[in-house]
Amino acid sequence: MSVDETHGNGLYSSLPTSKLIQLCELGRILASSPDQKLVQEAVTSTALALVDADYGSVQILDEQLAATVTLRRQAGALSEDEARRTDQVAAGWVIENRRALNCADLAADLRFPYLLGKSECRLAILASPILCQDEMIGVLILGRNAERPFREADQSLTGFLATMAASPLQVLRRLRFMAEANEKLRSRLAREEGLQSLLGRSEGWRHVCEVIRNVAATDARLLLLGESGTGKEICARGTHALSPRRERPFVAVNCAAMPESLAESEFFGHVKGAFTGAVRDYDGLFAEADGGTLFLDEIGSAPLQIQASLLRAIQSGEVRRVGAAKPIKVDVRLICSTSSDLETLIEEGRFRKDLFYRINVVTLEIAPLRERRDDIPVLAFEFLRRNVLRYNRPVGSISPEALAILEGYSWPGNVRELEGAIEHAVLFSPPDTQTLTATSLPPRILGAMGHHVAEPASAGDPELGLDDILDRYERDIVRSALESSDWNQSLAARILRVPEKRIRERMKKHGLQEKPQDRVPPPDELV
């Protein structure tokens, strides 16, 4: 539907060129700005100019509370207290009646008997609801001297501005609510020692946190199930930090990464001379965790021989170091995790049934990230905060498009993959950008979501051999990393996860020079 169809033929065609330019500029800001305050100020200032008002504000509703940005274009139009009362009266009426208010004189309007005769309110008021899909987002309020009441054309134009701003303000309001909810959640969890890293708001994640709260104060053995990268170790650390053992060690070991020949010694320790290479006594992981918590990650990958020793240690509370004559007592709270199906491993004879029953006192299954998408914005903003501090970047928000891609992606690597994606996006964002955009996300994510990912220009050249194609591809990658890091070789090396020396070698090989403005001329060029 066109503007003329909505608001009457000729209304906007009669606007002076200068005011049409202001409307175009407002449209540009609404389409591109990630800053809610800037958008509110732009809408207010444009409305003030278009209808020649003395006072204006945009109120954004937040659970019956208004976050207000107020601009006054004429000195002495209203004091702060008067502006606040005017906003409350006008916004309250519009919210209750869900339609525009055009009041010739606020102090003489019978709809507001409590203001009758008050000289401080002798204002003509025009207030339009800001509605997005029939949801009240906020109110646009304008005021001027009662001697100049607003016309019907002013009301129509103000309504158009409110409609124009509704959708962008709704998106920005949602992002602000997410950021505030994230901050509130982090603050609340920070007060609960041990849960400060358990960020999420989905129903499934709330259940995980509730189980951890219930079992943390006990010594019950906990079995964490879930795909790789879902946050099982974070849950184990949170459980330990909430327990009475919090002042004692938390020791984590990945059973899948431990060589079978060294497993016995690593878990239970050894005495000097017990085997070739045992040049000193070693206490082992159980003794290291004495009084605290031992976290066995990927317990399903533990060799069968070690499973038998683990079962004995759990049952007796004792461990015997390799080569020692006597066992030693240990007091360890055991938390295990696995991404494997232990019952299937039992049927295949690769996991002991008796050990399964010993470690499976309380079972907690952590859903993959694709099944708790409400957690994605919370985690994304937290990872953004960490990496902004880590790399000293000015990025403070995530664009709506980038957030939509993050929420829609399937995340086969779960939380670990999301964390890496945000780090990649921060590193590949322009050095002075304040908003993380979709173009900075990893190519695999953009490709999976149907976004075009540019291919190297040389890849399709039939006249080039494989070595030439690879050389050009490498040059493009190195140049991209240097440009994204403002030609900081150390940062480019971190982006590509290679030694800085290799970056210098590749720059020399491919003829990549410093930025011209950064190059120091040799003495013979100084004249």
Q: What is the pLDDT of residues 461-497, one digit of tens each?
A: 555 566 666 677 677 777 777 766 667 787 777 777 7
Q: Which domain holds residue 96?
A: 3-168
Is residue 344 very low, low, confident or very high in pLDDT (cuts 50, 70, 90)?
very high
Is residue 232 located within the same domain as residue 292?
yes
pLDDT at residue 252 greater than cutoff 90:
yes
Tokens of 494: 């971190």
Q: What are the DSSP calls for 20-36, one per residue? A: HHHHHHHHHHHHH---H
What CATH number does residue 497 fall under?
Answer: 1.10.10
Is residue 151 located within the same domain as residue 279?
no
The pLDDT score that the predictor gives to residue 363 is: 94
The pLDDT score that the predictor gives to residue 8 is: 42
Task: Name the nearest CA neighbour of 361 among 145, 176, 211, 202.
Answer: 211
Is residue 286 located within the same domain as residue 156?
no
Which of 186-195, 266-275, 301-310, 470-479 shows the lowest mean pLDDT across its residues? 186-195
Is residue 260 located within the same domain as residue 359?
yes
Is residue 76 very low, low, confident or very high in pLDDT (cuts 50, 70, 90)?
low
More confident residue, 5 or 306: 306
φ/ψ region of 486 (left if φ > 0, alpha if ψ in -120 to 50, else beta) reads left
Is residue 403 located within the same domain as residue 315?
no
pLDDT at residue 519 greater than cutoff 60:
no
E-state strands within 89-197: 101-103, 123-132, 135-145
More confident residue, 43 or 463: 43
Mean pLDDT of 441-461: 66
More confident residue, 120 or 503: 503
Mark out the alpha helices in 192-252 (DSSP H runs).
203-216, 232-242
Q: What are the DSSP calls for 95-123, one per residue? A: HHHTS-EEES-GGG-TT-GGGTT-GGG-E
The pLDDT score that the predictor gives to residue 225 is: 95
The pLDDT score that the predictor gives to residue 429 is: 85
Strand partners, 335: 222, 295
pLDDT at residue 45 greater than cutoff 90:
no
What is the pTM assigned to this prediction? 0.55
Tell me which of 387, 416, 448 is where a domain ends.
448
pLDDT at residue 285 greater than cutoff 80:
yes
How many domains does the structure of the chain reveal? Answer: 4
Mean pLDDT of 417-440: 88
Tell me which of 367, 402, 428 is where a domain ends.
367
Report the chain's mean pLDDT, rounded to a whole number.
81
Is residue 286 located within the same domain as residue 415?
no
Is residue 345 located within the same domain as residue 246?
yes
